Amino acid sequence: MRPAEWFAATDRTAFRRAVRRWYAERGRDLPWRRLPRDPYAVWVAEIMLQQTTVATVIGYFDRFLSRFPTVGALAAAPESDVLHLWQGLGYYRRARMLHQAAQRIVAEHGGEFPRDRDAIAALPGLGRYTAAAVATFAFDIRAGILEANTIRLWTRLAAAAGDPARQPLREELWSLAEEAPPRSSPGDFNQALMDLGAVVCAPAPRCGECPLTSFCAGFREGKPERYPQPAPKRAKEEQEHASTIVHWRDRLLVVRRPDGGRWAGLWEFPRVEKTSDESWEEAAGRAVRAFVDRPFALRGRRLALTHGIMHYKVRLCAYDADLLAAPASGEDSAMRWLRREELESLPFSSPQR
Ligand code: SF4
């Protein structure tokens, strides 16, 4: 069924009442909900929750808010401090955008989070969902939200066939999400939908505990887990990276990733993408020469690991190398020689860590 048809055939008052009653009794107790209507806390939580589970986010959220309790504190911090606190959460672009948006809020809105949905959406790093989430959760604005949990919930309620990542279903779900919240307390209603999607209408649906069975077309069909229809799987592209830990006396060479690309602003040991016509050792040597113009001796391989990033599968092999003459160049903003214990002070990507 199309989502609009399902909603037209639904008793909206009864549906909204069932959602809200369940939320009052069973809604999740999450740290960012304990700070009443704090747009900064809602925003930080929503950015962290993109691509990351609630269980992982909770510890990061508490540390982030104690280190940067206000938009102003975040805006005034050096970017490397923000990235350092983000270390391990991945998708570091989110942290950089959060930092830039905080600076915009200070510069253009006097440090007050804008209340207008369009002004929120104009901030760096806030897409359609996040802008609506901050508007509805922090300011109780009647806005629709659509993310993984609510997509699963709506597609099952409506028994909506099609790939929800694509049109026309994507926009149909957005329209439904916009129309569904009541005029009074739409923020709580939206939180309730997300919780229902996360806790009850989970990937393995717990229909026996669901307050919405009488409204649910997927349940009536008898196989709600067939929704949402999975998107066709895209094969991961494979890459091979060699990274070399260069030793000079008790120091190790680390370099900063340039702005704009993957892992921008993070630090790492010299790393190159291995080409198909070179050996791992040749690639490890090339990683050294990319940064140091001095003779060196490559030791054996230290470790190999495979990790995924976006749609890439990366095999990373790490080597050690001893520099045989003092490095010519000193340190600068993109290159440092650190003692092992000093590495903790810089943000590294997870595989490099
Ligand atoms: Fe999801 Fe089952 Fe509830 Fe339908 S009845 S919304 S499939 S948990």
> Which neighbouring-strand residues pair with 297?
322
Which tokens is 337 given? 């020689």
Cα–ligand 1 centroid distance for 157 (angstroms): 7
Looking at residue 350, its pLDDT comes to 84
Which tokens is 244 given? 């070399």
pLDDT higher than threshold 70 for residue 36: no
pLDDT higher than threshold 70 for residue 50: yes
pLDDT higher than threshold 80 for residue 333: no
Calculate ∠ Cα 278-284-288, nearest 5°. Answer: 125
| 152 Cα nearest atom in ligand 1 | 1
Which tokens is 281 given? 């050792």
Residue whose Cα lies nearest atom 2 of ligand 1: it is: 207
Which of the pair, 108 or 263, is modelled with greater confidence? Answer: 108
- Residue 245: CB within 6 Å of ligand 1? no
Question: At 255, phi and psi to the nearest 5?
Answer: -130, 150
Looking at residue 233, its pLDDT comes to 78
| Confidence tier at 263 by pLDDT (50, 70, 90) | confident
Whether 168 and 150 have beta carbons less than 8 Å apart is answered as no
- % the chain with pLDDT above 90: 73
| Confidence tier at 29 by pLDDT (50, 70, 90) | confident
Cα–ligand 1 centroid distance for 211 (angstroms): 8
Residue whose Cα lies nearest atom 5 of ligand 1: it is: 213
Calculate ∠ Cα 175-22-134, nearest 5°. Answer: 45
DSSP, residue by residue, 199-236 = IISSSS--GGG-TTGGG-HHHHHT-GGG-SPPPPPPPP
Cα–ligand 1 centroid distance for 33 (angstroms): 25
What average pLDDT score do residues 95-99 get? 94
Lowest mean pLDDT among 24-28, 103-107, 225-229: 24-28
- % the chain with pLDDT above 70: 99
Which of the pair, 31 or 272, is modelled with greater confidence? Answer: 272
To the query of whether residue 171 is one of the catalytic residues in this protein, the response is: no
Looking at residue 330, its pLDDT comes to 67
* 94 SS3 class: helix
pTM of structure: 0.72
